[in-house]
A and B are shown apart, each in its own frame.
Chain A
Amino acid sequence: MNSPQPQKNASGNFSWEWIPTAEFSLPSGTLQTTFKTRLMSFLHHRTPSEKMDELLKPESLEFLSTYMLDRLVPPVDLKTEALSLDPALMPWCEGQHKKVILILNVPHSGNGEILKYWAAEHGFRIIDPPSPSALLSSDDSWFEQFDNNDPCWVLPELEKCWLRHETGLYLIRNFFRRLFSGMLGFGVVGCGSWAWSFFSHALSVSAPVSLVAKPFDSEKLETWLSALASGKNRLPVRFRQADNGRQVLSAPPKDTSDDENKKEQSPFLRDLAAFCYGIPGVALAYWRSSLRAEPDGLDLEKGDAQAAADYSTVWVKPWMNVEKSGLPQKLERNHAFVLHSLLLHDALDMDTLSKLLPLRQHNFGQTMYDLSDNGLIESSEDQWRVSAKGYPVVRRFLKTEGFLPDDFK
């Protein structure tokens, strides 16, 4: 495969780093946690949760207020990462020998959104996916959006350009035929990793150049989460593990004493990175749910700036005690069908999803309820998708059951 070498961006401030998919490797966790997770997953399809002799008992810790949580872990602005794609993509866009480039979007990685921002930043034409009804009607008018005279077009959501329905493959087959024959000109295609895995196996397609964001390992997570916690107004906050007081994120310089420096670093981030497959969106969801505070450490209801400034230590639950999403007690193949369909298409509305599955209406409703009740799927603007916290357990479950996962093992 002819792939560009990953290049360091000019500023060096980007969290996302793009690599050829062949160079993708998952971060590893600590031996103990990995063994326990696999054993429990093997026996119960569940992730482990154990009682530990904690420095601060869990009952003595409280959830952070939404205000504090949003200050310590604010929503990620992916727009600032848009130009991280420049070193990988611009040489192709400006070069003579143009090839189709594929950006793989692992669920909750944010890769697709970054590609959209990158296209907008450079003024490239963004190709919107057709509606579900158009996908089932074998309509070719969607191709009118492509213009051979464009220097580069960007199709950020290829996973939304097909449906796993007997009449839903027409457009995607047609797209690949036109794409690889050069009829559509040069473009960058973003595609969900699960959908691409389906295309590779079912339609036997392969991309000349494919890129994916490098997974976030513990070092990268530490840098990223520290930067998020600091924000513009650096807060004097330390993140320490609740059962042993070890530092989870390096303490801010002014707050770091010699004793703090000598303290051993918690393995929390390493286990978090491994469990989350290095996916930043998933790691962020679990990070938010693992933060706790002492009841008298802060007036949680008050939540003003002064209180935030006084607040010095945020306690992080030990990784094994962090509540993970679990599978429904009575698992049926219907659950697997729904989860696999959602991952193949990234997100679907109920009506479209029901057309793709051979489930009776009441079974379909029950299945959706079970998955939603367990926090494995969530809805936003009528679109259902596998939740960030549910993704790791869903991926392991589907792979174990024999469903085709994405290629990032």
Chain B
Amino acid sequence: MFKELNEAAMVQVIVILAAAIGSIVFSQKFFRWVAEKLPGRYKLYALASIPMLRILIIVVAVVMIIPRVVEPTFENLVAVLGAVGLALGFAFKDYVSSLIAGVVTLYEIPYRVGDWVEIDGTYGEVRSINMRTLELVTPDDTVVVIPHIKLWDRMIFNANDGSRNLQCVADFYLHPGHDGNRVRKALMDVALTSPFLKLENPVRVIAKEQLWGTRYRIRAYPVYPKDQFEFISDLTIRGKAVIMDLGVGFVSAPIGSGEKTA
């Protein structure tokens, strides 16, 4: 089944492997460099092409290596694939499952580099998509490595889904005895005057009466998705100042009141 691995074949395999690894490393660095130079959405496209290119390089390398180590007959291929399948099925089930999920992500694209996603309660920006895992950077600057296998049975929340539109929400909890129209207008002006705001997207101020008071939510989009926390902070701080100027009081929800998002 296996060919006799002479010196020339060994050298060829090593050269192919080296070329593949070199190409992967180069493509990662090159596309990251290009992405840094590109503005806005083009940056995301460049970063998203890295895992696709890596898969392509690996497939080409495997296709080139197999005929050099195995006699390419039907029986041999069945035997090799069967043995590999058995080994993987027992020993590396989750590992291979993650690899396959990694390939699936290239087609389904549940997340791309630069997206803000939440998986299993971890929220962060997708820093890189590897063969088996993706890396998130949380707002606390912690890198979280998550295997693609989560794709099969976990919900994935993608806040911007490949675009630069990432909605942010700022909450305000007010004493119910106030003029709602004035508060709503004031909060709208707070949103419209934030330099972080992406003006082309809609801005909403939603009011909802709760048992313990009135909740207002500003829903708006920042120009830069990475500024989402500073944007929310900006809305919150200036919104509080405006509400206080209006003479409206704040309330606190009792602990364990079961606050749910709208």
Cα distance A88–B106 when bound, in Å? 58
- Are A340 and B38 also in contact (CB < 8 A) when A401-B223, A403-B223, A404-B200 are? no
Closest beta carbon of chain B to A205's beta carbon, Å: 13
Q: Kindly state whether residue B89 has any CB partner on chain A within 8 Å.
A: no
Q: Kindly state whether residue B242 has any CB partner on chain A within 8 Å.
A: yes
Question: Is there an interface contact between A402 and B198, defined as CB atoms closer than 8 Å?
Answer: yes
Residue of A198, A202, A336, A337 contacting most chain B CB atoms (<10 Å): A202
Q: Kindly state whether residue B189 has any CB partner on chain A within 8 Å.
A: yes
Question: Is there an interface contact between B37 and A166, defined as CB atoms closer than 8 Å?
Answer: no
Query: In the assembled complex, which residues on chain A have CB atoms less than 8 Å from the CB atom of B198?
Result: 402, 404
Question: Is there an interface contact between B40 and A166, defined as CB atoms closer than 8 Å?
Answer: no
Closest beta carbon of chain B to A221's beta carbon, Å: 29
Query: In the assembled complex, which residues on chain B have CB atoms less than 8 Å from the CB atom of A356?
Result: 193, 195
Query: In the assembled complex, which residues on chain A have CB atoms less than 8 Å from the CB atom of B40?
Result: 400-402
Cβ < 8 Å to A, chain B residues 207-262: 223-224, 227, 230, 234, 238, 241-242
For the complex, count residues of A whose C-beta is within 8 A of B.
Answer: 26
Question: Is there an interface contact between B195 and A42, defined as CB atoms closer than 8 Å?
Answer: no
Question: Is there an interface contact between B195 and A358, defined as CB atoms closer than 8 Å?
Answer: yes
For the complex, count residues of B whose C-beta is within 8 A of A.
Answer: 25
Mask of A285-328 contacts with B, CB within 8 angstroms, 1/0: 00000000000000000000000000000000000000000000
Question: Is there an interface contact between A169 and B193, defined as CB atoms closer than 8 Å?
Answer: yes
Q: Kindly state whether residue A357 has any CB partner on chain B within 8 Å.
A: yes
Question: Is there an interface contact between B193 and A333, defined as CB atoms closer than 8 Å?
Answer: no
Question: Is there an interface contact between B223 and A402, defined as CB atoms closer than 8 Å?
Answer: yes
Cα distance A169–B238 when bound, in Å? 14
Cα distance A206–B163 when bound, in Å? 29
Question: Is there an interface contact between B242 and A166, defined as CB atoms closer than 8 Å?
Answer: yes
**Contact of A357 (CB < 8 Å), options: B195, B224, B230:** B195
- Are A168 and B223 also in contact (CB < 8 A) when A42-B38, A43-B38 are? no
Query: In the assembled complex, which residues on chain B have CB atoms less than 8 Å from the CB atom of A165?
Result: 193
Closest beta carbon of chain A to B165's beta carbon, Å: 10
Closest beta carbon of chain A to B214's beta carbon, Å: 20
Footprint of A on B, CB under 8 Å? 37-40, 42, 164, 186, 189-190, 192-193, 195-196, 198-200, 203, 223-224, 227, 230, 234, 238, 241-242
Footprint of B on A, CB under 8 Å? 42-45, 164-169, 198, 201-202, 333, 336-337, 340-341, 356-358, 400-404
